[in-house]
Amino acid sequence: MHGRNGDAPYASATDAMRYWPETATAVAARRRGSDGCDIAAPFGLDDLLDLVLRPTSRFRVEKRTIYEDRIRTKGWFGSWPLLTRAEG
């Protein structure tokens, strides 16, 4: 069991990102060789590239207060004025 949040052990870093609060933050990149790159994005890249802040399924209801607290404390809308918010 994951000590911090009670989740079962993650199978990989990409699996762990499925438990993140926002779809657009669940993205990772790593360099592959001298000119390549691997992207892991379990919810896709659309929200990130379209500047949409959207909760993942667990944070829509079950953990909504954590999602709302992150929006309030991160200051994303001040840093990125074109960012929009979606609920679904």
- pLDDT tens profile 6-60: 777 888 889 999 999 999 999 999 999 999 999 999 999 999 999 999 999 999 9
Q: Which is nearest to 25 in space by CA: 88, 78, 76? A: 76
Q: What is the pTM of this model?
A: 0.82
